[in-house]
Amino acid sequence: MSQQASIQAQIIAKAMKDETFRQALLSNPKAVIERELGITIPAGVTIAVHQNTPTTLHFVLPMQEPSAAGEELSDAMCSARGQSGAGNIIIHDRKRQRYRCKSCRERPSANEEERWSN
């Protein structure tokens, strides 16, 4: 289970048991989560909490990776992209010898693979 999924499960479990917490979470999720977890969420991050009803169901789609959206990332958009030895490059597909940057999640193009694997 990812860290985000674990945190979500913890928050949801408490909201299901504690109606006051649930209402606070619905009205000011960022402040409630910061207080509950003892963390500070960056100013540019928005937290949205939705509650299903008998007539409204919510689906959360994961973020699209930039390459999946048809966008190309430049090295300037990710300062860690392609830096070997920095611990940010992982093997994406061992069979096809493909790599991925953990910072920007970009996969190198065929002409970049050699640079990334060194």
Q: pLDDT of 25-43, one tens digit each?
A: 999 999 999 999 998 988 8
Residue 62 lies in a domain: no
Determine the average pLDDT of the residues in 78-97. Answer: 58
Given a cut of 50, is residue 118 above it in pLDDT? Answer: no
How far from chain centre, in Å, is Cα 70? 19
List the domain range (segments joined by +) for residue 14. Answer: 3-37
Q: Residue 68: its pLDDT value, please?
A: 43
Given a cut of 80, is residue 113 above it in pLDDT? Answer: no
Residue 98 lies in a domain: yes
* Contact (CB, 8 A) for 113 and 93: no
Residue 43 lies in a domain: no
Residue 70 lies in a domain: no
Query: Which residue has better confidence, 22 or 65?
Result: 22
Residue that the structure tokens 């994961």 belong to: 62
Residue 74: C-alpha distances to residues 56, 67, 71, 85, 107 (Å): 40, 11, 10, 20, 12
Residue 58 lies in a domain: no
Residue 99 lies in a domain: yes
Residue 17 lies in a domain: yes
Provide the domain count of the chain.
2
